[in-house]
């Protein structure tokens, strides 16, 4: 295959797609557009919030991609002209493409909770995009007095990283148990069920009794408003005041997809789930957190699995061949404590109706009631997973 591919977004999906395109079709010219010179990963950012790691441990550069022949444009995609097939960068440059890939992640829905906007997030951090927000939440927890209350609000599905709020609550509880044992973590949930719930609840009873309280939607009600001046969460049923307030707001596909009309007024982009090509704008592929990908959760592992299939599809299509039959994998590890890990895994195929579907009997969650050595091994696997996915993605 020959020609030009532009990839927008140098996170898990975009960096993986660019890397695999170069490997599969060395004659393709591949340009990656990403405004940040370094990527701070959301995976393992909860360990930074809990003081187990510094921010350097979750920071990666894009330089290794350049040595593979990927051209990196440190800029933001600001617009497109699909009729001329060009991407316009905010610096003014225009990049022509034969095929365009977007893996721009999520945007937070500011204002979906009354009172929660970008200014409020400086007082009640979301820390759902890693970087300064991660450090802000860390500093607030460190500065909190013993006996303080950390409140985390978790959104309705779908959102980035379904088990993420519960891993966060667990690791904050781990820190408080050691350093500020009279304190408390409360999760106000917009759902009555969540990912790996049985495993989390089993662990919380054992590790954090009285320290971590999960309040389901049925008891919490809708989170209607937050008040940054008092760090208060106002729900249908009560007002909960926090010493440290972590608001994880509802999310949607990154707004850059609106420039191409790809979301059509919906929160997420619909694509052909085998090739990730948009039905609305031919030649444009979208993957990762921004899309509806059938039964796949919005995770870094999912984004990289989709990115590899998307690279295969593009290499085939640009060489005039049929794209291969798609299959995917995902494993989500969560650390409940540094020596206590739990997982959910699935293998996926595209069903005849075109939707990505979990292969029955090919996945599962860690067993309930497993001995401590088992949980300690899973925590080691989680660290091994992080080391390998970041090495594979960023080099
Ligand atoms: P991202 O990785 O967010 O990449 C998007 C990139 O696009 C960004 O670098 C952004 O700067 C760039 N971008 C956006 N707009 C533009 C534009 N206009 N022009 C150019 N570039 C642009 N997943 C796991 O698999 N395992 C975990 O343990 C895990 N833990 C998590 C913990 C937390 C607290 C959170 C919040 C998430 C976690 N995730 C985890 C989920 C994971 O972070 C996401 O699913 C993953 O990052 C999605 O990849 P992506 O490529 O879609 O988006």
Evaluate whether 70 touches 32 at the Cβ level (below 8 Å).
yes
Confidence at residue 98, expressed as pLDDT on a 0 to 100 scale: 98
What distance in Å separates the CA atoms of residue 231 and residue 11, rounded to the nearest whole number?
32
pLDDT at 1 over 90: no
Query: 377-380 — which CB contacts under 8 Å span 24+ positions?
Result: 377/341, 378/333, 378/340, 378/341, 378/342, 378/343, 379/335, 379/337, 379/338, 379/339, 379/340, 379/341, 380/341
- Phi (first) and psi of residue 40, to 5 degrees: -100, 120
pLDDT at 300 over 90: yes
User: From the CA of 211, how far away is ligand 1's center (Å)?
Assistant: 30
Atom of ligand 1 nearest to the CA of 105: 53
CB of 77 within 6 A of ligand 1: the answer is yes
Confidence at residue 73, expressed as pLDDT on a 0 to 100 scale: 98
Q: Which of 6, 7, 8, 14 to mutate to test the pocket of ligand 1 (most atoms within 8 A of CB)?
A: 14
User: From the CA of 208, how far away is ligand 1's center (Å)?
Assistant: 30
Mean pLDDT of 199-219: 98
Evaluate whether 329 touches 346 at the Cβ level (below 8 Å).
yes
Evaluate whether 72 touches 65 at the Cβ level (below 8 Å).
yes
| 240: three-class secondary structure by DSSP | strand
Write out pLDDT tens, residues 305-314. 999 999 999 9
Mean pLDDT of 87-102: 98
pLDDT at 69 over 90: yes
Evaluate whether 261 touches 281 at the Cβ level (below 8 Å).
yes
pLDDT at 165 over 90: yes
DSSP state of 120: G
User: From the CA of 134, how far away is ligand 1's center (Å)?
Assistant: 14
Confidence at residue 349, expressed as pLDDT on a 0 to 100 scale: 98
ipTM tops the 0.90 cut: yes
């Amino acid at each position: 295959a020959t020609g030009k591919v532009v990839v927008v977004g140098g996170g898990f999906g975009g960096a993986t797609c660019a890397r695999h395109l170069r490997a599969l079709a060395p004659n393709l010219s591949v340009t990656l557009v990403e405004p940040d010179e370094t990527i701070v990963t959301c995976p393992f950012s909860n360990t930074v919030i809990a003081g187990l790691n510094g921010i350097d441990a979750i920071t990666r550069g894009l330089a290794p991609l350049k040595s593979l022949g990927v051209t990196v444009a440190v800029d933001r995609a600001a617009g497109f002209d699909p009729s001329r097939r060009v991407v316009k960068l905010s610096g003014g440059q225009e990049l022509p493409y034969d095929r365009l890939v977007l893996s721009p992640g999520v945007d937070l829905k500011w204002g979906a909770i009354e009172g929660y906007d970008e200014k409020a997030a400086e007082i009640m951090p979301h820390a759902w995009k890693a970087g300064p927000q991660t450090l802000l939440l860390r500093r607030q927890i460190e500065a909190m007095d013993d006996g303080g209350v950390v409140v985390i609000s978790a959104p309705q599905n779908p959102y980035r990283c379904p088990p993420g709020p519960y891993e966060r609550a667990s690791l904050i509880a781990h820190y408080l148990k050691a350093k500020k044992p009279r304190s408390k973590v409360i999760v106000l949930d917009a759902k009555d069920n969540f990912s790996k719930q049985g495993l989390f609840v089993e662990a919380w009873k054992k590790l954090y009794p009285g320290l971590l309280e999960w309040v389901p939607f049925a008891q919490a009600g809708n989170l209607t408003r937050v008040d940054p001046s008092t760090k208060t969460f106002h729900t249908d049923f009560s007002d909960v005041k926090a010493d440290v307030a972590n608001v994880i707001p509802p999310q949607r596909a990154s707004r850059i997809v609106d420039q191409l009309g790809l979301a059509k007024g919906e929160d997420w982009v619909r694509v052909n789930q085998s090739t990730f090509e948009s039905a609305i704008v031919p030649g444009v592929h979208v993957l990762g957190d921004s899309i509806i990908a059938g039964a796949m959760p919005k995770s870094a592992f999912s984004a990289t699995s989709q990115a590899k299939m998307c690279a295969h599809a593009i290499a085939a299509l640009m060489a005039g061949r049929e794209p291969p039959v798609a299959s995917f994998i995902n494993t989500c590890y969560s650390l409940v404590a540094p020596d206590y890990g739990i997982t959910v895994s699935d293998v996926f195929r595209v069903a005849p109706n075109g939707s990505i579907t979990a292969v029955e009997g090919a996945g599962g969650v860690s067993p309930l009631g497993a001995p401590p050595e088992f949980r300690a091994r899973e925590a080691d696997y989680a660290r091994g997973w992080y080391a390998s996915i970041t090495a594979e993605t960023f080099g």
